[in-house]
Amino acid sequence: MKIEFAASAGAAPVLAVLAHEGRSLAGAGVQLDAATGGALSRAMNAGRFTGAKNSTQLVAGVSGCDAATIVITGAGEAGQVDDLALEAAAGAAYHAVKMSGADALAIDVSHLSAEQAARAAFAARLAGYRFLKYRTTLKPEKTPSIQTIRIVAADPKAAQKLYDAEFAPVAEAVEFSRDLVAEPANVLYPEEYARRVKGLEKLGLEVEVIGEKELARLGFRTLLAVGQGSVRDSQVVVMKWNGGAKGAQPLAFVGKGVCFDTGGISIKPAEGMEEMKWDMGGSAAVVGLMHALAGRKARANVVGVIGLVENMPDGAATRPGDVVETLSGQTVEILNTDAEGRLVLADCLWYTQERFKPKFMVDLATLTGAMIISLGLEYAGVFSNSDELAGNIGKAAPKVGENVWRMPIPEIYERHIDSPIADVKNMGNGRAGGSITAALFLQRFTNGVPWAHIDIAPTAWVKDSKNPTVPDGAVGWGVRTLDRMIRDSYEA
Ligand code: BES
Ligand code: MN
Ligand code: ZN
């Protein structure tokens, strides 16, 4: 999709203007209503459209306007346009006309700031994301027709500049993350994944790929135990962005990258197993974050560490009951080979704190089905030993339209993961508090460093999205929250 900024809508066949609750047109909509003899007001008054967020009203074929179609798009409550209402307005305008046959959509936000104009472009772009690389016979009339988004702005140059510097890098990062999550597991296995991340060196990231031999030498025995039933080699990828003060302690992000999770010997039921191609969503958030930071040249030192494995059952696979010594030296009884994410993260967390001595660690993982039972599909769970860190995540997420809820990690459940044969076992007693016992397991590998764990099992993939900037499928969840958190709380 082509994004441009201009002082007028030009020859765009579709023009979108904003309206607020109470059928109150904003900015260019007011003039357009006058120029068309009240066509916009008439259309609104004849229907149900009120200006509510994520709703639109089409007005077609009116004289006094160059565009063949006008989209009135809801920006919610009158008064100040908040960021998410603006994003919804731009996204909803795109969805209202994306299949119409029109090739360009102009969105007039000339009454708003340059930053808001850039944000409208950003939102329309995210709304327009599709993963179509394997659709070779899709008919043209089944694919979106809009090729160009033209943002009509008061100061198009200033808007373009802000878009290029601050918004496009984040959009590109979200798209990169969504692509990784959407890829099937026969294409995106650990080595191919690592190659794609290596390609991000062009952005100025340092990328180090650690293969199986070296992982074994370093002592990543638990991560390797997960991957040993697969013909694909496991990988750990370390990414560094050094945009902050020289020598300043880095922030660290760790991601679960299970490229496919069959459950291993504790195999999952066939129904729905295909969803486990997105069991690498946590790692994709970390990669997307690093992509965004490099793209917008964030003033912070950040490391990303992702553990990439495929969890398969075969003659070499880990068995239930096996005991493995983790990188930390603690031993684990692997009671259920389907509780593999925590095994991958245990070694990655320990490695990260030991090697980088970070200010804090945040891990992201599609870790437990129980998280979906706890919070439903709209919230990710945050578990943390630091009120400050959890607070900063909790402040950033709602600003970018991602929902998080803090969960407890009480000491009283520690006994549920004590093992009679090893230091810890990889599941609790039965299903009770499954997300909490998983988080408590991870905590044992943080060595007391300020840490937060975000269980994104509910949010990594969406089937009936109500958010116009998040099309169905891979969400790229976490890229925007983490980028925003760093911007708001940790940049010099
Ligand atoms: N990847 C799954 C968790 C998951 C389930 C993510 C559904 C997204 C949607 C994870 O590896 C897993 O299988 N966890 C088990 C843990 C259990 C065996 C203790 C679970 O949640 O059932
Ligand atoms: Mn599993
Ligand atoms: Zn898993």
Q: Mind giving me the DSSP string for 279-325?
A: TTHHHHHHHHHHHHHHHTT-SSEEEEEEEEEEE--STTSPPTTEEEE
Distance 338 CA to ligand 1 centre (A): 7
Q: Is any ligand 1 atom within 6 A of the Cβ of residue 369? A: yes
Q: What is the pLDDT of residue 416?
A: 97
For ligand 1, atom 7, which residue shows the shortest CA distance?
369
Q: Which ligand is nearest to the CA of 369?
A: 1
For ligand 1, atom 17, which residue shows the shortest CA distance?
339
Distance 90 CA to ligand 3 centre (A): 35
Count Cβ atoms below 10 Å from residue 313 Cβ, excluding itself: 17
Q: What is the pLDDT of residue 149?
A: 98
Q: Evaluate whether 286 touches 253 at the Cβ level (below 8 Å).
A: yes
Strands 301-311 and 251-261: parallel
Q: Which ligand is nearest to the CA of 273?
A: 1
In angstroms, how far is CA 227 from the centroid of its own chain?
Answer: 25
Q: Which ligand is nearest to the CA of 438?
A: 1
Is the backbone of residue 104 left (phi > 0), alpha (psi -120 to 50) or beta?
A: beta
| Ligand 1 atom having least distance to the Cα of 434 | 19
Best substitution site from 338, 462, 475 to test ligand 1's pocket, by max atoms within 8 Å of Cβ?
338
Distance 177 CA to ligand 2 centre (A): 21
| Ligand 1 atom having least distance to the Cα of 336 | 18
Q: Is any ligand 1 atom within 6 A of the Cβ of residue 340? A: yes
Distance 263 CA to ligand 1 centre (A): 8
Q: Is any ligand 1 atom within 6 A of the Cβ of residue 401? A: no
Q: Which ligand is nearest to the CA of 366?
A: 1
Q: Is any ligand 1 atom within 6 A of the Cβ of residue 368? A: yes
Q: Which ligand is nearest to the CA of 278?
A: 1
Q: State the Cα–Cα distance between residues 173 and 289, nearest whole angstrom.
A: 7
Alpha-carbon torsion angle 450, 483, 238, 477, nearest 10 = 100
Residue 114: φ, ψ to 5°: -60, -35
For ligand 1, atom 3, which residue shows the shortest CA distance?
368
Q: Evaluate whether 455 touches 370 at the Cβ level (below 8 Å).
A: no
DSSP state of 209: E
Q: Which residues make Cβ contacts (< 8 Å) with residue 330, sequence separation at least 6?
A: 423, 424, 444, 445
Buried b (16+ CB within 10 A) or exposed e, 388-402: ebbebbbebbebbbb
Provide DSSP, 221-244.
HHHHHHHTTSSSPPEEEEEEEE-S
Q: Is any ligand 1 atom within 6 A of the Cβ of residue 116? A: no
Active site residue 268: yes
Could you give the 3-state DSSP secondary structure of residue 60?
strand
Distance 340 CA to ligand 1 centre (A): 8
Could you give the 3-state DSSP secondary structure of residue 437?
helix
Q: What is the pLDDT of residue 410?
A: 98
Distance 338 CA to ligand 2 centre (A): 4
Q: What is the pLDDT of residue 79?
A: 83
**How confident is the prediction along the chain (492 residues), in pLDDT tens digits per residue?**
999 999 999 999 999 999 999 999 999 999 999 999 999 999 999 999 999 999 999 999 999 999 999 999 999 999 889 999 999 999 999 999 999 999 999 999 999 999 999 999 999 999 999 999 999 999 989 999 999 999 999 999 999 999 999 999 999 999 999 999 999 999 999 999 999 999 999 999 999 999 999 999 999 999 999 999 999 999 999 999 999 999 999 999 999 999 999 999 999 999 999 999 999 999 999 999 999 999 999 999 999 999 999 999 999 999 999 999 999 999 999 999 999 999 999 999 999 999 999 999 999 999 999 999 999 999 999 999 999 999 999 999 999 999 999 999 999 999 999 999 999 999 998 899 999 999 999 999 999 999 999 999 999 999 999 999 999 999 999 999 999 999 999 998
Q: State the Cα–Cα distance between residues 295 and 117, nearest whole angstrom.
A: 20
Active-site position among 42, 268, 395, 406: 268
Q: Is any ligand 1 atom within 6 A of the Cβ of residue 279? A: yes
Q: Is any ligand 1 atom within 6 A of the Cβ of residue 339? A: yes
Residue 474: φ, ψ to 5°: -65, 130
Q: What is the pLDDT of residue 262?
A: 98
Q: What is the pLDDT of residue 55?
A: 97
Distance 251 CA to ligand 1 centre (A): 27
Distance 94 CA to ligand 3 centre (A): 35
Q: What spatial distance separates the first Cα and last Cα of the chain, rounded to whole Å?
A: 33
If we measure between CA atoms, which residue out of 84, 159, 158, 76 comes closest to residue 117? Answer: 159
Best substitution site from 344, 367, 368, 425 to test ligand 1's pocket, by max atoms within 8 Å of Cβ?
368
Angle at 329 between CA 283 and CA 303, to 5 degrees: 30
Active-site position among 342, 425, 444, 480: 342
* Sheet containing strand 424-425, strands side by side: 322-325, 331-334, 424-425
Alpha-carbon torsion angle 105, 109, 113, 114, nearest 10 = 20
Q: Is any ligand 1 atom within 6 A of the Cβ of residue 366? A: yes
Q: Which amino acid is at 191?
A: E
Q: State the Cα–Cα distance between residues 69 and 431, nearest whole angstrom.
A: 54
Q: State the Cα–Cα distance between residues 363 and 344, nearest whole angstrom.
A: 11
